[in-house]
Amino acid sequence: MKTIIGLEIHVELSTKSKIFCGCKVDFGGIANTRCCPVCLGMPGTLPVLNKKVVDYAVKAGLALNCNIAKESIMDRKNYFYPDLVKGYQITQYYSPLCQNGFVEIGEGKNKKEIGIKRIHIEEDTGKSLYNSQNITLLDYNRSGVPLIEIVTEPDLNSGEETKEFLESLRDILRYIGISDVKMEEGSLRCDVNINIEDEEKKTRSNITELKNLNSFKAVVSAIEFEENRHKLLLKEQKNTVKETRRWDEVEKQTQVMRLKDTEEDYRYFPEPDILRVVLSEEEINKIKEELPELPKDKKNRWLEEFKLPEYDIEVLTGSLELASFFEETLSYSNNPKKVSNWIMTELLRRLKECDVELSAVKLTPKNFGKLLNLINEGIISNSAGKKIFYEMFENGGKPEQIAQNKGLIQIDDMDAIEKVIKEVLHRNPQSIEDYKNGKDKAFGYLVGQSMKAFKGKGNPKLINKVLQKLLN
Ligand SMILES: [Zn+2]
């Protein structure tokens, strides 16, 4: 038995304004405050296509290895639903902007290409909200938010594989900066089409469409639930019903939403209010040049170049911002593992504690790199380094200067060190005796006393050296 899965993915584009009007694109806020006559479909208004939406969609198409149509049109999809205020959605049906791409997933022998059938642009609908009195409320803030719909070929064969594909897709879209791709906020939404093929008996179950999948975990759970349901029905020589089912997160099962005996007839026709979308070779090439290095390419290059553990690379390439911060730091402090360790422990911890984005922090890669150099050279201690790091994280500034101001530079004047240690020895004649009698503990004790005498500013390496010299 083989599972066959294809996906329809809606991605909200993070343009400043909506697809056909100047209303702001944002998440949350007071209902019905980001709408105008155009996105409310008032009679007499005309839509104007936002050029950024086309650019973003082309960017996605190129990153997903698609052919870009130099000419495409917008179409009207007619249906009634309260959240669709115009009574039709402007989308692309006959000629999508991007076609025939792929995303590579897996490593080595398990490498596999998942086909991208098409990517088209369209407008989002409003949102229906159901309150406790069973009243439906409508919020049109989302009405007219730009979307791309990505349709895959039925190339996926399991829940885990689907998750891997979605993670790759999300990383790519985030890297190229066209969406914040947050499933929990609905800026990445995924519908799953699934059926099972019995390869021996040459039978197939009918396709079920799965909706209401709000996390990658829900996608995997719903697919696995459906796999079993379809297999069981096929075994009993029954078939599944062509239907749309929703995932119930509480019951951990799928439930029927509606039957699909016939394909809905949307009476598509070319949108008369919008001209053709025309792109020149130069425009497409310009967008191509702006594409950053994609996550997979970056990971492979880093593995070669920096010889970092795969885990580090996974974490550091988690966002383009973090990846750039890491690479830029390396140009000031060329020790990949050390830089990686500091980012993965101190920096990421601090970002989480303060609940801020890296871009909002005053710490620069240059000063971060210089700080690590000061530690490596023994000019400041590791613990002093952490204090300086916290200071730079909050208020910016140069590490050398902060170290000076806070008196954190380690004393490395040999005469001064000898003087202090001589005093320590003078105060501890018994320990000297013990040391001479071969007690290692005594040496440790003297090191501790010396460190104390330097109030944490002593360079441990030098103290050890001087102490040994004086004792012998
Ligand atoms: Zn508007």
Cα-to-centroid distance, 270 and ligand 1 (Å): 22
- Tally of CB atoms within 10 A around 5: 25
Task: Please tell me the pTM assigned to this model.
Answer: 0.81
Cα-to-centroid distance, 453 and ligand 1 (Å): 69
CATH of the domain at 453: 1.10.10.410
302 and 345 belong to one structural domain:
yes
Cα-to-centroid distance, 18 and ligand 1 (Å): 7
Determine the pLDDT at residue 238. 84
CB 313 within 8 A of CB 303: yes
Structure tokens given for 72: 């495409």
Strand partners, 112: 105
56 and 150 belong to one structural domain:
yes
Cα-to-centroid distance, 224 and ligand 1 (Å): 41
Cα-to-centroid distance, 283 and ligand 1 (Å): 27
Final residue before a domain boundary, out of 348, 374, 405: 405
On whether residue 207 sits in a domain, the answer given is yes
> 253: domain range?
2-281
Cα-to-centroid distance, 141 and ligand 1 (Å): 8
CA 10 and chain centroid, separation: 16
Final residue before a domain boundary, out of 378, 405, 432: 405
423 and 378 belong to one structural domain:
no
On whether residue 287 sits in a domain, the answer given is no
Cα-to-centroid distance, 19 and ligand 1 (Å): 9
Please list, residue by residue across 18-37, b when 16 or more beta carbons sit within 10 angstroms of its beta carbon and e when fewer do: bbbbebebeeeeeeeebbbe
pLDDT along the chain (472 residues), means of 10: 96 97 93 95 94 97 97 95 94 96 90 97 94 91 97 96 95 93 90 93 91 91 95 86 89 87 82 94 96 92 92 91 94 94 95 90 95 89 92 93 86 76 89 86 88 77 83 83
184 and 227 belong to one structural domain:
yes
Q: What is the pLDDT of residues 417-465, one digit of tens each?
A: 888 888 899 999 888 888 888 878 888 898 888 888 877 677 777 788 8
Cα-to-centroid distance, 388 and ligand 1 (Å): 48
Q: How many CA atoms lie within 13 A of 228 on its CB side?
A: 7
Cα-to-centroid distance, 147 and ligand 1 (Å): 15
On whether residue 288 sits in a domain, the answer given is no
On whether residue 96 sits in a domain, the answer given is yes
Q: What is the pLDDT of residues 398-409, one digit of tens each?
A: 999 998 888 888
In angstroms, rounded to a whole number, what is the distance separating the alpha carbons of residues 95 and 214? 29
On whether residue 425 sits in a domain, the answer given is yes
Cα-to-centroid distance, 391 and ligand 1 (Å): 44
Final residue before a domain boundary, out of 251, 281, 311: 281
Determine the pLDDT at residue 406. 85
Strand partners, 248: 253
166 and 78 belong to one structural domain:
yes
419 and 394 belong to one structural domain:
no
Cα-to-centroid distance, 31 and ligand 1 (Å): 13
Determine the pLDDT at residue 393. 95
On whether residue 392 sits in a domain, the answer given is yes
Residues 6+ apart with CB under 8 A from 340: 306, 308, 312, 316, 326
CB 386 within 8 A of CB 350: no
143 and 209 belong to one structural domain:
yes
On whether residue 286 sits in a domain, the answer given is no
Residues 6+ apart with CB under 8 A from 240: 195, 205, 206, 208, 229, 230, 233
HEC string of the chain equals: CEEEEEEEEEEECCCCECCCCCCECCCCCCCCCCCCCCCCCCCCCCCCCCHHHHHHHHHHHHHCCCEECCEECCEEEECCCCCCCCCEEEECCCCCCEEEEEEEECCHHHCEEEEEEEEEEEECCCEEEECCCCCEEEECCCCCCEEEEEEECCCECCHHHHHHHHHHHHHHHHHCCCCCCCHHHCCEEEEEEEEEEECCCCEECCCEEEECCCCHHHHHHHHHHHHHHHHHHHHCCCCCCCEEEEEECCCCEEEEEEECCCCCCCCCEECCCCCCEECCHHHHHHHHHHCCCCHHHHHHHHHHHHCCCHHHHHHHCCCHHHHHHHHHHHCCCCCHHHHHHHHHHHHHHHHHHHCCCHHHCCCCHHHHHHHHHHHHCCCCCHHHHHHHHHHHHHHCCCHHHHHHHCCCCCECCHHHHHHHHHHHHHHCHHHHHHHHCCCHHHHHHHHHHHHHHCCCCECHHHHHHHHHHHHC
Determine the pLDDT at residue 82. 93
335 and 230 belong to one structural domain:
no
Determine the pLDDT at residue 412. 67
Cα-to-centroid distance, 277 and ligand 1 (Å): 21
436 and 318 belong to one structural domain:
no
Structure tokens given for 16: 């400043």
Cα-to-centroid distance, 61 and ligand 1 (Å): 26
Cα-to-centroid distance, 39 and ligand 1 (Å): 4
352 and 435 belong to one structural domain:
no
- Cα maximum dimension of the chain: 101
101 and 146 belong to one structural domain:
yes
Q: What is the pLDDT of residues 182-225, one digit of tens each?
A: 888 889 999 999 999 988 888 899 999 999 898 999 999 999 99
Cα-to-centroid distance, 410 and ligand 1 (Å): 61
Picking from 100, 73, 98, 76, the residue whose alpha carbon sits closest to that of residue 88 is 76
Cα-to-centroid distance, 139 and ligand 1 (Å): 13
Cα-to-centroid distance, 291 and ligand 1 (Å): 30
Total count of residues recorded for the chain: 472
Cα-to-centroid distance, 24 and ligand 1 (Å): 8
Counting the structural domains of the chain, the total is 3
196 and 268 belong to one structural domain:
yes
On whether residue 132 sits in a domain, the answer given is yes
